[in-house]
Chain A
Amino acid sequence: MTIEVKNLVKKFGTFAALDGVDLKVDNGELVALLGPSGSGKTTLLRIIAGLDWPDSGEVSFNGADALAQGARERHVGFVFQHYALFRHMTVFENVAFGLRVQPRAVRKDEAAIRARVKELLDLVQLDWLADRYPGQLSGGQRQRIALARALAIEPRILLLDEPFGALDAKVRKELRKWLRSLHHEINVTSIFVTHDQEEALEVANRVVVMDKGRIEQIGSPNDVYDNPATAFVHGFIGESIVLPVDVADGAVRLGDRPLALAVDGLSPGASKLFVRRHDMLVGPPGSGAFEGAVQHVRTFGPVQRAEVALFGGETIEIDAPRDRELRTGDRVGLEPRRYRIFAG
């Protein structure tokens, strides 16, 4: 099932939750909607599911207008952030719910329903919990039951809202891997919402980065990390050093120091220079575009994190390999191996 979203606009009062969003998701993809809270990602997911309607714009599934259908008819599996399990039903009945409420004409018989639920509980590896109530389960177990329940209706699309948001760090890591392999197994077009970049980069085939109701970038995990399209993406994904610079007369300046950096294609004016911490190569003084004095060094694992006061006024944190020990007071030259300059 392909999903196509065109020029979607949704306002809550004067706040634009979605401000002209276009997106195409191909059959069998696993896409992450990544952004800070208030970026519109959950609103987009709810509109695709039929839980909300846009003010304008289009949503189509395999080319057919989806907005003319309610959530009930769309056949979309939705996994809620807090799972929304039915507390008065056993795990078994929760999973069976979507099968039991089907119109009589197409409803499976009891034996077939039982078999299907069993199969789904096996799939999420929780068949031994069938007779428990949701209140007796751990967060990770509830998450998987919610997923099994959504899969019971054989959805054309699977949507997950912050699927790991309410779980503790360790469970979250396990479930990420599990979700990837599950998607591989069932191969349903899936979109999940997250504010956690690590989650998006690790799980998804494609990442959609959103901010303030707009899509900032769509790309593979490597793409959005290595080639951020906008200042927002660079700042949001991965840890970046951000320096206020000035582009003028064919040169880049930090304060009043000109930097030996290429200026091709940059428009003049106040700009921001983005560098990944580990992309600042440390050398002897005079060896790079920047120069500064080491203020403070901490080491953990394979890297040392140094605080460097640049000549020109800014203090930055860099990650350097431990082959050359840095000490407080060292003067160093820094060369950005890879960097981006964005206007503004």
Chain B
Amino acid sequence: MGLTLSWLSIIILIPLAGLFLRSLELSPEQFWNILSSRRTLNALRVSFGLAFAAASVNLVMGSIIVWALVRYRFPGRRIFDAIVDVPFALPTAVAGVALTSLFAEKGWLGAPLAALGIKVAFTPIGIFVAMIFIGIPFVVRTVQPVLQDLDPEIEEAAGSLGASRLQTIRRVILPSLAPALLTGLALAFARAVGEYGSVIFIAGNLPNVSEIAPLLIVIRLSEFRYADATAIAVVMLVVSFVTIFAVNRLQRWAQNRVPAR
């Protein structure tokens, strides 16, 4: 057990402590100046804003996918069910080059979109697309088991009390799924904010426009501006801590809301 704790501290705690120690070496003004520089602010805005937008799309599309997979029988259902995990398993660099070539101006999807006047690759839309790709399993895999275990009787009860199908979905099913939906949203958001590999190829990486915060960290590192890299990292780390904390609280809230029967 002592071994476990020392291993954990070597591999996890010491590196993270190092990061925070580094950031403490900065004076508050320095810290503030780094964060309030236009490029940093824009990178954070791009990362957080697009991650939230992508997670929201995942929330909606993930719910639709879960509903189709759990409630309906259609040819290929099992294959599509398995395919949901691909973004988990596919190395991010591979996803990055694949999405880029798919959405590039001459790509299979990029060409028809370009004809419509929509440019995806090398624009913020590309970042958005990559973040949607990376986040979809989080929503599906958190909501799916909850919908599967949902007691069919509560829907029958709502119907026999006179609720229309829409009322049943809005007032009974969605609230029952709410903790899982929010957890999925938070996980997809956290993953998209930190995502690097699948985003940088398609992003275009234009400072202030399509540059994500993790990339800015890498750039600052390559310029040996370690202080800048550290400050940005600390901000992102704090946000992931808050997100994990929120997810844990959500789970506890969902469990407290009642033992099954």
Cβ B161 vs Cβ A134 within 8 A: no
Binds B, one of A55-63, A70-78, A216-224, A285-293: A70-78
Query: Are B156's CB and A72's CB within 8 A?
Result: no
On chain A, which size bracket covers the interface? Answer: 35 or more
A105: Cβ under 8 A from any B Cβ: no
Q: Measured between C-beta atoms, what is the minimum distance from B181 to chain A in Å?
A: 13
Question: Which residues from 125 to 143 on chain A have a C-beta closer than 8 Å to any C-beta of chain B?
Answer: 133-136
Chain B, Cβ-Cβ closest to A81: B153
- A317 to chain B minimum Cβ distance, whole angstroms, is 38
Is B175 in contact with A51, judged by CB distance below 8 angstroms? no
Partner of B163, one of A72, A77, A87, A136: A72
Q: Which residues of B contact A244 (CB under 8 A)?
A: none
Of the listed stretches B68-76, B105-113, B205-213, B253-261, chain A binds: B253-261
Instruction: Find B258's partner among A77, A87, A152, A166 (CB 8 Å cutoff).
Output: A87
Cβ–Cβ < 8 Å partners of B259 in chain A: 135
The verdict on A153 contacting B257 (CB below 8 Å), with A80-B153, A80-B157, A82-B151 known, is no
> Is A68's CB within 8 Å of the partner chain B?
no
Check B176 for interface membership: any CB of A closer than 8 A. Answer: yes
For the complex, is A21 an interface residue (Cβ under 8 Å from B)?
no
Partner of B172, one of A74, A75, A86: A86
Residues of B within 8 A of A149 (CB): 157, 161
Tell me whether B158 is interfacial, beta carbon within 8 Å.
yes
A135-B159 contact in complex given A82-B151, A101-B171, C-beta closer than 8 Å: no
CB-CB under 8 A from B154, the residues of chain A are 84-86
Residue contact A51 to B161, C-beta cutoff 8 Å:
no
Is B26 on the interface with A (CB-CB < 8 A)?
Answer: no
* Contact, CB under 8 Å: B258 / A153: no
With an 8 A cutoff between CB atoms, is B4 at the interface?
no
In this complex, what residue of A is CB-closest to B258? A135
**A166–B153 alpha-carbon span in the complex (Å):** 15
Distance between Cα atoms of A150 and B157 in the complex (Å): 9
CA A77 – CA B160 in complex, angstroms?
Answer: 7
Q: Which of B162, B175, B176, B257 is A102 in contact with, Cβ under 8 Å?
A: B162
22 contacts between A and B (CB under 8 A): A51-B156, A70-B159, A71-B160, A78-B156, A80-B157, A84-B151, A85-B154, A85-B157, A86-B157, A86-B175, A87-B257, A88-B175, A88-B257, A97-B161, A100-B171, A101-B161, A101-B171, A133-B258, A135-B257, A135-B259, A152-B161, A153-B162
Given contacts A72-B164, A86-B157, A134-B258, 7 further A-B contacts (CB under 8 A): A70-B159, A80-B153, A80-B156, A84-B154, A85-B154, A86-B172, A135-B257
Instruction: Enumerate chain A interface residues (CB-CB to B < 8 A).
Output: 49-51, 70-72, 74-78, 80-89, 97-98, 100-102, 133-136, 149-150, 152-153, 166
